[in-house]
């Protein structure tokens, strides 16, 4: 192909507009568009047998440009990994990258070249169903994970497969939907947007993400899909993003519902003017851009810029050289053994041990164990929201894995459904609980209780399950609660009464095997929460990096303790760690200098295990109020029993910068407090001075 810059000169206006048009389903009328080369991309189409004929057809048009084929590969294509929120709890950046690389190869083998991920929206409200798709509440960890996911998706290291671009989403503040109701209004200061919600996007773009999806929500009154301040000024001019912007599903057209566009034509004009390159599925660009440009010739430049960005992306993906997917590629790629092994490791490293009175790991002696709960046998829920091409037949259920332990005499009874009672089954569950040494309750949410528009007004365990658990507790006090869910669950009663609590999320194909490894001690739990878990729904929003306020010691509510149930960064092990000797190589430094922080960590228990060491900062006096704590670094290390390791972290003074009134990072003089510890609550402290 000629360079995109030259190529564009030979394109008709219809062909140019076509590049901005994406459809989600292949309808009959789109066949003509394909023949004429007046469509640029599709989503929701898979496999060489469907995609190749389309590519071949479009390549017979006058100025042929191959199609981009997009898909939501959120946590696996065919090999399904833990939902992103779960895997973020591994804090294992290389592992996260690996899972994305695998997903990308599997998807590419079926002709996908644009992956609508990573979802990097910060989420502070667990009622919001899409908290499952992101990496939790922290901007720093979220940024590290955003980079890893982009690197993985775009690794493109297999020359036999088509190349793939990431499409980072949903720009911006989508996670702040009021009340956790998906698609809802967001209203926040520019400072909060820049300090909390922007960093993971910035990181993903710096890592080279080829495309970005704009969010459904409005932002301070203007839907992001037509928001020139966000797309043109912030994204293009300030962040220098040169890749392709994609609307969310029909989000440009939805500006009519937002009450800021008169009709489809008005919405299309506003979308193009703001800088949204691709209109996903609404057809408003297809129908209107030609007449809009005839009436507003100055907008042709905007059209050309969008076309150029799309052509450049297609060139980068190598589509002009090769647009045919090898029909046998998927046979070699899908669910390779090493992919499934990675899925197992990812699942193990995602499970957070929240409570343990010593019952875990299970002793290897003959025991009668009652397994109850609606999720024990479930092979569908572990696939989580956005299961892509995952198949329940590939999912190892909890019970299937657990029954492989010959030493346990296992009795099984559901007791209730996820959201409804089953009185007869409840009686049987009570009976097996009364005959057993201990009970494992596998409870929580099905996969359609989180994800897009699956919000909950209460984040406790669903009532029938909680009531069953309370009943069982009156019969047998040795209960291990395994919680499968797409969001953190408020477990105040459970934390008080259970012998052990495991947060096992929706872990993907290897769910049962991974939980079994943790329960039986084959693996030592090493995950840490990336969201604060409140005691009750009414405490939301609750996040560790809040401001101190003018009255920090005043109670927030009269009917619940002020603290969270489990803090950000929390997760137990089967061993214990002791932090000591936090020190810096200098106490005083000038702007532009670096400081090295060291801390000793001793494994004081009996097992080799991983620990995630977390470093936080606090600036007690600044021009603007700063969070009480802010994660600035972490390391995941393996430590032998009795061993002490010294970890070292080097920071430039930029780490401590605040955004000034023009939102430029500024290093202020004064004291900075530095903390190290095993979670965001239990920390040791030192200070430095910036002169």
Footprint of ligand BGC on this chain (CB under 6 A)? 43, 72, 116, 169, 248-249, 452
Q: What is the per-residue DSSP string for 199-240?
A: HHHHHHHHTT-SEEEE-SSEETTEEGGG-HIIIIIIIIIIS-
Nearest to 119, CA basis, from 346, 409, 450, 366:
450
Report the alpha-carbon distance of residue 157 to residue 102 in Å, rounded.
11
Q: Shortest Cβ distance from residue 262 to ligand BGC (Å)?
A: 24
Tell how strand 211-214 and strand 644-652 pair up. Answer: unpaired
Nearest to 279, CA basis, from 9, 39, 26, 111:
39
The DSSP bridge partners found for residue 211 are 167, 244
| Ramachandran region, residue 468 (left: φ > 0; alpha: ψ -120 to 50; beta: rest) | alpha
**Nearer Cβ to ligand BGC (128/649):** 128
Q: Shortest Cβ distance from residue 128 to ligand BGC (Å)?
A: 12
Nearest to 544, CA basis, from 178, 135, 139, 93:
139
Tell how strand 670-677 and strand 609-618 pair up. Answer: antiparallel
Q: Shortest Cβ distance from residue 146 to ligand BGC (Å)?
A: 15
Q: Give burial (CB, 10 Å; 0-12/13-18/19+) of 102.
A: buried
**Nearer Cβ to ligand BGC (20/479):** 20
**Nearer Cβ to ligand BGC (181/583):** 181
**Nearer Cβ to ligand BGC (219/568):** 219
**Nearer Cβ to ligand BGC (213/515):** 213
Question: One of 71, 121, 182, 248 is an active-site residue; which one?
Answer: 248
Q: Shortest Cβ distance from residue 303 to ligand BGC (Å)?
A: 23
248 classed as catalytic: yes
Element housing 444 (H / E): strand 438-444
Report the alpha-carbon distance of residue 462 to residue 472 in Å, rounded.
16
Q: Shortest Cβ distance from residue 107 to ligand BGC (Å)?
A: 13
**Nearer Cβ to ligand BGC (217/630):** 217
Encode 437-459: b = buried (16+ Cβ within 10 Å), e = exposed: ebbbbbbbbbbebbbbebbbeeb
**Nearer Cβ to ligand BGC (132/609):** 132
Nearest to 460, CA basis, from 484, 489, 439, 500:
489
The two three-digit tokens of residue 85, written as one number: 């929120």
Q: What is the per-residue DSSP string for 558-571?
A: SSS-SS-SB-TT--
**Nearer Cβ to ligand BGC (43/617):** 43
Are the beta carbons of 569 and 680 closer than 8 angstroms?
A: yes
Q: Shortest Cβ distance from residue 282 to ligand BGC (Å)?
A: 12
SS (H, E, C) 396-433: CCHHHHHCCCCCEEEEEECCECCCCECHHHHHHHHHHH
- Provide the 3-class DSSP secondary structure of residue 389: coil
**Nearer Cβ to ligand BGC (72/611):** 72
**Nearer Cβ to ligand BGC (7/249):** 249
- Provide the 3-class DSSP secondary structure of residue 587: coil
The two three-digit tokens of residue 142, written as one number: 């979220």
Strand order in the sheet with 683-690: 588-589, 683-690, 670-677, 609-618, 630-639
**Nearer Cβ to ligand BGC (69/353):** 69
| Residue of this chain nearest to ligand BGC (CB atom) | 116
Report the alpha-carbon distance of residue 488 to residue 541 in Å, rounded.
13
SS (H, E, C) 311-379: HHHHHHCCCCCCCCCCCCHHHHHCCCHHHHHHHHHHHHCCCEEEEECCCCCCCCCCEEEEEECCCCCCC
- Provide the 3-class DSSP secondary structure of residue 515: helix
The two three-digit tokens of residue 312, written as one number: 């450049």
Task: Please provide residue 21's backbone torsions phi and psi, each rounded to the nearest 5 degrees.
Answer: -105, 125
Q: Shortest Cβ distance from residue 327 to ligand BGC (Å)?
A: 25
The dihedral of CA 107, 110, 114, 115: what is its sign? negative
CA 209 to chain CA centroid, Å, is 16
Q: What residues act catalytically? A: 248
């Amino acid at each position: 192909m000629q360079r995109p810059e030259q190529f564009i000169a030979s394109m008709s206006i219809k062909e140019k507009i076509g590049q901005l048009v994406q459809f989600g389903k292949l309808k009959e009328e789109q066949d003509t568009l394909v023949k004429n080369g007046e469509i640029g991309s599709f989503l929701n189409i898979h496999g060489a047998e469907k995609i190749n004929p389309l590519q071949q057809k479009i390549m017979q048009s006058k100025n042929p440009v191959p199609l981009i084929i997009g898909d939501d590969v959120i946590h696996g294509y065919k090999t399904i990994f833990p939902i992103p929120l779960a895997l973020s709890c591994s804090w294992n950046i290389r592992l996260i990258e690996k899972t994305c690389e695998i997903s990308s190869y599997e998807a590419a083998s079926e002709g996908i070249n644009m992956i609508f991920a990573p979802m990097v929206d910060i989420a502070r409200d667990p009622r919001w169903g899409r908290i499952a798709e992101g990496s939790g509440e922290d901007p720093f960890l979220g940024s590290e994970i955003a980079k890893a996911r982009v690197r993985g998706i775009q690794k493109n290291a297999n020359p036999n497969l088509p190349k793939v671009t990431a499409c980072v989403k949903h720009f911006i503040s989508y996670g702040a939907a009021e009340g956790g109701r998906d698609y809802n209004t967001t209203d926040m200061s520019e400072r909060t947007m820049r300090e909390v919600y922007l960093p993971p996007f910035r990181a993903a773009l710096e890592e080279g993400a080829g495309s970005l999806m704009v969010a459904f929500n409005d932002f301070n009154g203007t839907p992001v899909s037509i928001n020139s301040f966000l797309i043109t000024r912030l994204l293009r001019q300030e962040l220098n993003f040169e890749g392709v912007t994609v609307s969310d599903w029909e989000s440009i057209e939805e500006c009519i519902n937002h009450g800021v566009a008169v009709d489809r034509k008005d919405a299309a004009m506003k979308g193009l003017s703001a800088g949204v390159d691709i209109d996903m599925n609404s057809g408003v660009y297809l129908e209107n851009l030609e007449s809009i440009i005839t009436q507003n010739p100055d907008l042709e430049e905007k059209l050309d810029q969008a076309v150029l960005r799309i052509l450049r992306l297609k060139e980068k993906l190598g589509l002009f050289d090769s647009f045919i997917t090898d029909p046998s590629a998927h046979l070699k790629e899908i669910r390779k053994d090493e992919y499934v092994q990675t899925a197992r490791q990812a699942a193990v490293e995602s499970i957070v041990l929240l409570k343990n009175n010593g019952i875990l790991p299970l002793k290897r002696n003959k025991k009668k164990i009652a397994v109850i709960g609606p999720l024990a046998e479930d092979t569908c829920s572990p696939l989580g929201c956005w299961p892509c091409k995952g198949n329940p037949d590939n999912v190892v259920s909890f019970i299937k894995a657990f029954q492989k332990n010959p030493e346990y005499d296992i009795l099984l009874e559901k007791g209730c459904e996820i959201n409804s009672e089953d009185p007869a089954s409840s009686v049987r569950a009570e009976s097996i609980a009364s005959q057993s040494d201990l009970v494992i309750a596998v409870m929580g949410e099905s996969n359609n209780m989180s994800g897009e528009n699956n919000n909950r007004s209460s984040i406790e365990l669903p009532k029938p399950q909680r009531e069953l658990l309370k009943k069982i507790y009156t019969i047998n006090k040795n209960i291990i609660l395994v919680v499968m869910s797409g969001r953190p669950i408020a477990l105040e009663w459970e934390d008080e009464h259970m012998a052990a609590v495991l947060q096992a999320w929706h872990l993907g194909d290897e769910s049962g095997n991974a939980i079994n490894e943790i329960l039986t001690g084959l693996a030592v739990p090493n995950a840490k929460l990336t969201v604060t878990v409140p005691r009750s729904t009414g405490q939301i929003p609750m996040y560790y990096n809040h401001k101190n306020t003018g009255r920090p010691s005043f109670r927030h509510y009269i009917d619940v303790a002020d603290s969270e149930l489990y803090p950000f960064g929390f997760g137990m092990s089967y061993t214990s760690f002791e932090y000591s000797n936090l020190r810096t190589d200098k106490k005083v430094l000038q702007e532009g200098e670096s400081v090295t922080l060291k801390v000793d960590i001793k494994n004081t228990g009996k097992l080799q295990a991983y620990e995630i060491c977390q470093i936080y900062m606090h600036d007690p006096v600044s021009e603007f109020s700063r969070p009480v704590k802010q994660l600035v670094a972490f390391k995941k290390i393996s430590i032998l029993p009795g061993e002490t390791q010294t970890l070292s972290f080097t920071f430039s003074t930029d780490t401590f910068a605040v955004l000034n009134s023009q939102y430029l990072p500024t290093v202020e003089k004064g004291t900075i407090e530095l903390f190290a510890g095993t979670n965001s609550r239990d920390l040791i402290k030192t200070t430095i001075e910036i002169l």
